């Protein structure tokens, strides 16, 4: 029995070593494929903590064009958001006067509101 347990433990250790070796080889292959630009990277049992390989390859020229386009968009947005400097001339017209309500108008509104509330209270008493 002791020999079988030792053999089993040894086989498990060898399997762990083989799995780690396969994972290292897969990582190296996918990195070389990515650098080569073939884009046919496979992700077989990707261990946790490793960097995922990008799904597509973008050429250097394309990345440069995308960067230039983005810089142009930002420049255009920045230009549109800047305030336009207009020469400010001093106006001789004063600001328009505020409209104040006359006392008679205030009395009319107050009387109307009192009548409205009286009507609502009478409606509640009837119901």
pLDDT at 117: 95
Q: Is residue 106 part of a domain?
A: no
Q: Is residue 111 part of a domain?
A: no
Q: Is residue 100 part of a domain?
A: no
Task: Answer whether 37's CB lies under 8 Å from 57's CB.
Answer: yes
Q: CA separation (Å) from 15 to 19, 29, 75, 94, 124?
A: 6, 21, 58, 91, 88
Domain count, the chain: 1
Q: Is residue 65 part of a domain?
A: yes
pLDDT at 41: 46
- Residue 37 structural domain: 2-80
pLDDT at 87: 60
Task: Answer whether 68's CB lies under 8 Å from 90's CB.
Answer: no
Instruction: pLDDT tens for the chain, 127 residues: list them.
Output: 678 888 889 999 999 999 999 999 999 998 888 888 765 545 555 555 566 665 778 899 999 999 999 999 999 998 888 776 656 555 567 777 788 899 999 999 999 999 999 999 998 888 7
Dihedral angle of Cα 8, 13, 16, 20, to the nearest 10 degrees: -160
Q: Is residue 104 part of a domain?
A: no
Q: Is residue 122 part of a domain?
A: no
pTM: predicted TM-score of the whole model, two decimal places: 0.30
């Amino acid at each position: 029995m002791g020999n079988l347990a030792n053999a089993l433990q040894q086989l498990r250790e060898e399997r762990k070593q083989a799995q780690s070796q396969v994972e290292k080889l897969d990582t190296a292959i996918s990195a070389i494929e990515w650098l080569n630009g073939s884009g046919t990277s496979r992700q077989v049992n990707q261990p946790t903590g490793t960097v995922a390989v990008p799904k597509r390859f973008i050429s250097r020229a394309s990345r440069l064009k995308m960067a230039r386009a983005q810089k142009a968009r930002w420049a255009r947005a920045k230009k549109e958001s800047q305030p336009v400097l207009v020469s400010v001339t001093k106006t001789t017209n004063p600001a328009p006067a505020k409209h104040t309500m006359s006392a008679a108008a205030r009395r009319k509104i107050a009387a109307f509101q009192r009548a409205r509330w009286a009507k609502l209270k009478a409606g509640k008493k009837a119901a």
